[in-house]
A and B are shown apart, each in its own frame.
Chain A
Amino acid sequence: MQKLLQLCIAATLGFGTLAQAAYIDQSRLVDMSNTLSAGGSFAFSRTIDTDAVSLGQGLNGFSDRYAFNLATASYAAGLMTSVPYDDDTGLVITGFNLYKEGATVAEYAGTLRDPFDQTWRFKGADVLTAGNYFLEVSGYATYTNASYSGTLSVSAVPEPGSLAMMLGGLAMLGVALRHRA
């Protein structure tokens, strides 16, 4: 009987140590360069599994990065959602931002638009120069199995070169028409 008691105490102590589990970093880096074409878009999604003892702010978290390359100057827009369970557990999204590689300040910062399904959105008015970028989704889990998903769209900015070419073409058409008349 005493042995059983000792076992019980040992088990409880063991559980106690588990309950004070260290912070679990769930972050991951995904290279999206294969799926993004000029003027195109990419979709991203993730289901996160977290230990029951590590739920909540400060006990787990993620800052997922989706890296891509812009070959030409572009505009970008992003939208993501994370649907919670009926009891409002799931994921708590704390940030949705677009960064240029190496920068600490976001080019476009997303804002929460709809708390029902945690719709986060950004659409930048400033032109993004060509280069490497990453989309960052940050948050933490309040349930053991939860997910988010979203899309990023890129719109090419007409280069000065192509604009000049178009004007040149129009001018030539004009000259040709005048010549015929």
Chain B
Amino acid sequence: MKTTLFVTATLLMAASAAHAANVSSPVETLIVKAGKGSLAFDNNFSNTLAGDTFADRFNFTLSGTASVRVTATSTAAGLNDSLDLTGFGIFDAATNQLVAPGKLSYLNDDGVYDKWTLSTSNLATGSYYFQVSGTMLAPGGSFAANGTINVSPVPEPAMPAMLLGGLAMLAFVARRQGK
């Protein structure tokens, strides 16, 4: 009897350990234009098991220096619901280095929830990704994020050229009329 119990327990433990899988979602790409823009992204997991982990990536490219403010959240109705957010940050797409870390701020006054805030003001031109990491607590967890990106426009060389061209034409017309 005791042996059977022990074997069953071992089998159960082995089974749950084997199931602690990486359930990361395919990489998504966010569209970021020059100027003031807003973005939102989220994810619903299904058929996951408690203990499964994920590191979801959301790619974006900056055409100029940018300031970014983003908040990522998850919430749970009970202690063992949804998921735990364990990390949030902006990574350089070329080097995979963390360039702007998020900050975990609990407002844990009435239960369980995770909120990560990220604020950076001088992210250089280039390709990056947001990475949201976490651990599943239930079969169907979810997280959501939204924020603002303000990309300083880089003046295109064509624009001053166009302006000069226009001025030259104006001068030409004025000269002709004067004559």
8 A-B pairs closest in CB distance: A40-B140, A155-B78, A43-B42, A155-B77, A149-B144, A45-B40, A43-B142, A79-B75
B20 within 8 A of A: no
CA distance A154 to B138 in the complex (A): 11
CA distance A80 to B40 in the complex (A): 12
Q: Mark B15-57, 1 if CB is under 8 A from A, else 0.
A: 0000000000000000000001111111110100000000000
B122 within 8 A of A: no
Instruction: Return A89 CB to nearest CB of chain B, in Å.
Output: 9
Check B70 against A83 for contact (C-beta < 8 Å).
yes
For residue B40, which residues in chain A have a CB less than 8 angstroms away from its CB? 45-47, 147-149
Check A47 against B39 for contact (C-beta < 8 Å).
yes
A39 touching B117 in the complex, CB below 8 Å, given contacts A90-B38, A145-B38: no
CA distance A167 to B145 in the complex (A): 43
B67 within 8 A of A: yes
In this complex, the interface size class of chain A, counting residues with CB under 8 Å from chain B, is 35 or more
CA distance A60 to B144 in the complex (A): 25
What are 28 A-B contacts defined by CB distance under 8 Å?
Answer: A35-B44, A37-B139, A39-B81, A41-B76, A41-B77, A41-B138, A41-B140, A45-B42, A45-B146, A74-B77, A81-B71, A83-B146, A83-B147, A83-B148, A86-B67, A86-B148, A90-B148, A113-B109, A114-B107, A117-B71, A123-B110, A147-B146, A149-B41, A150-B73, A151-B73, A152-B75, A153-B74, A154-B81
Check B75 against A145 for contact (C-beta < 8 Å).
no
Q: A43-B142, A77-B75, A155-B77 are in contact. List 9 more A-B contacts (CB 8 A).
A: A37-B139, A40-B141, A83-B147, A114-B107, A149-B144, A152-B75, A153-B76, A153-B81, A155-B76
In this complex, the interface size class of chain B, counting residues with CB under 8 Å from chain A, is 35 or more
**Which residues of A20-36 have CB atoms within 8 Å of chain B's CB atoms?**
35-36
Instruction: Return B57 CB to nearest CB of chain A, in Å.
Output: 16
A84 within 8 A of B: yes
CA distance A81 to B42 in the complex (A): 12
Instruction: Return B83 CB to nearest CB of chain A, in Å.
Output: 8
A78 within 8 A of B: yes
For residue A40, which residues in chain B have a CB less than 8 angstroms away from its CB? 46, 81-82, 138-142
For residue B69, which residues in chain A have a CB less than 8 angstroms away from its CB? 83, 85-86, 117
Check A151 against B38 for contact (C-beta < 8 Å).
no
Instruction: Return A31 CB to nearest CB of chain B, in Å.
Output: 14
For residue B46, which residues in chain A have a CB less than 8 angstroms away from its CB? 35, 37, 40
Check A145 against B82 for contact (C-beta < 8 Å).
no
A146 within 8 A of B: yes
Check B82 against A153 for contact (C-beta < 8 Å).
yes
CA distance A36 to B82 in the complex (A): 11
CA distance A119 to B116 in the complex (A): 11
Check A153 against B75 for contact (C-beta < 8 Å).
yes
CA distance A113 to B41 in the complex (A): 22
